[in-house]
């Protein structure tokens, strides 16, 4: 998927700048799959953060990841 079509301006710029990540909420991690799952607070897009890059993933893929036994969910702050 083209970078410009992934997520929205808010979450793309959060990744591009590296910091701050306020726009993204960390849903959880899987050490086994080496992935961190984030969700944009603005557009609701799911993002998987791998070791070298981050990518917007479809909701179904995010659900699969969340249901993976290796996935550890993080406590969520309320959405703003
Ligand atoms: Zn977004």
pTM: 0.86
- Does residue 17 form part of some domain? yes
If one counts the domains in the chain, the total is 1
Range of the domain at 56: 3-73
Q: How far is CA 46 from CA 7, 10, 17, 63, in A?
A: 8, 13, 18, 10
Phi, psi torsion values for 79, nearest 5 degrees: -65, 140
pLDDT band at 80 (very low <50, low <70, confident <90, very high): low
How close is the Cα of 11 to the center of ligand 1, in Å? 4
- Does residue 54 form part of some domain? yes
pLDDT, tens only, 20-64: 568 899 999 999 999 999 999 999 999 999 988 899 999 999 999
- Does residue 78 form part of some domain? no
Of 14, 76, 77, the closest CA to residue 49 belongs to 14
CB-CB neighbours of 38 under 10 Å: 25
How close is the Cα of 2 to the center of ligand 1, in Å? 14
């Amino acid at each position: 998927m083209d970078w410009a079509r992934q997520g929205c301006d808010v979450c793309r710029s959060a990744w591009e700048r590296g910091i701050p990540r306020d726009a993204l909420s960390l849903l959880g991690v899987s050490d086994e799959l080496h992935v961190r799952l984030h969700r944009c607070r603005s557009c609701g897009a799911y993002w998987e953060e791998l070791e070298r890059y981050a990518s917007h993933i479809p909701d179904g893929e995010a659900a699969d990841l969340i249901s993976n036994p290796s996935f550890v969910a993080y406590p969520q702050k309320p959405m703003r």
